[in-house]
Amino acid sequence: MGLLVAVVVHAANIQDKVGVRLVLRRVPLFARWQRVIVDAGYDSSANTHWSKDWLGVDYQVQPRVVGIGFTPQPCRWAVERTFAWFGKYRRLGKDYETLPDTAEACLFAVMVHLMTRRLAHP
């Protein structure tokens, strides 16, 4: 559905392979969750073992679909659509926030606004 579960804003010098652990530590993993699907940028054998040992879920890397021109990739369109929703809000257009906590709060505020609009207009 493209709804936020967890948000982590960190410094730009942290690689995605390391930053994914920061996000997964904040995700409320329910008993029904069986796997986490990630992009190829998060591919790491250490993350695979860590998620299996510490979180008890499978860590599945979504392979890139190679084709001529635009090829929609399964499971990835929801993430891209969510980023497009965020792009419509002027506050998130630039990095106005100096503190990571403030940036995270702005992302949650935008998501609350989007969710209440969905609930109000079925």
Strands 58-61 and 35-38, bridge-based pairing: parallel
pTM confidence score:
0.71
If you count DSSP H runs as helices and E runs as strands, how many of each does the chain have, helices first? 4, 2
Profile the chain (122 residues) by mean pLDDT over runs of 10 residues: 80 87 81 80 87 86 75 71 83 77 89 88 72
Is residue 87 a contact partner of residue 64, using CB atoms and an 8 Å limit?
no
Q: Rounded distance, CA 28 to CA 31, Å?
A: 10
Is residue 59 a contact partner of residue 38, using CB atoms and an 8 Å limit?
yes
Residues paired with residue 36 on neighbouring β-strands, in sequence order: 59
Is residue 85 a contact partner of residue 114, using CB atoms and an 8 Å limit?
yes
pLDDT of 74: 66
The secondary structure of residue 44, as a DSSP letter, is: -
The secondary structure of residue 37, as a DSSP letter, is: E
